[in-house]
Amino acid sequence: MDSKQLLAFALDKVDDMKARDVVQIDVREKSDITDYLLICSGNSRRHVQSIADHVAKSARHTGEEPLGYEGQTEGE
């Protein structure tokens, strides 16, 4: 998948989990390691952990191994 497809995939997965305050930031001109940042909120620590876990598991299921993500451990 290219970066736009990955962004659409991640947006769909956070929507599946009813994430709030979803923001996508284009950092192609500012970063050499990523094209987009996707930031979202949840209703509780457990909700945030579930969102992060859902996106990561869904990516692995399609053969895309996440290089890293935030939110799983801390729930923040």
pTM given for the model: 0.85
CATH code of the domain occupying 3-61: 3.30.460.10
Long-range own/partner contacts, residues 68-75 (CB < 8 A, 24 or more apart): 73/49, 74/45, 75/44, 75/45, 75/46, 75/48, 75/49
SS3 19: coil
Give me the pLDDT at residue 71, please.
Answer: 60
- Domain parsing of the chain, residue ranges: 3-61
Query: Could you read off the pLDDT of 57-71 as tens digits, one per residue?
Result: 999 999 988 877 666
Give me the pLDDT at residue 66, please.
Answer: 81
Phi-psi region at 25: left, alpha or beta (left = phi > 0; alpha = psi -120 to 50): beta
Query: Could you read off the pLDDT of 11-56 as tens digits, one per residue?
Result: 999 999 999 999 999 999 999 989 999 999 999 999 999 999 999 9
User: Band of the pLDDT at 1, cuts 50, 70, 90?
Assistant: confident
Q: What are the structure tokens assigned to 54, written together?
A: 């859902």
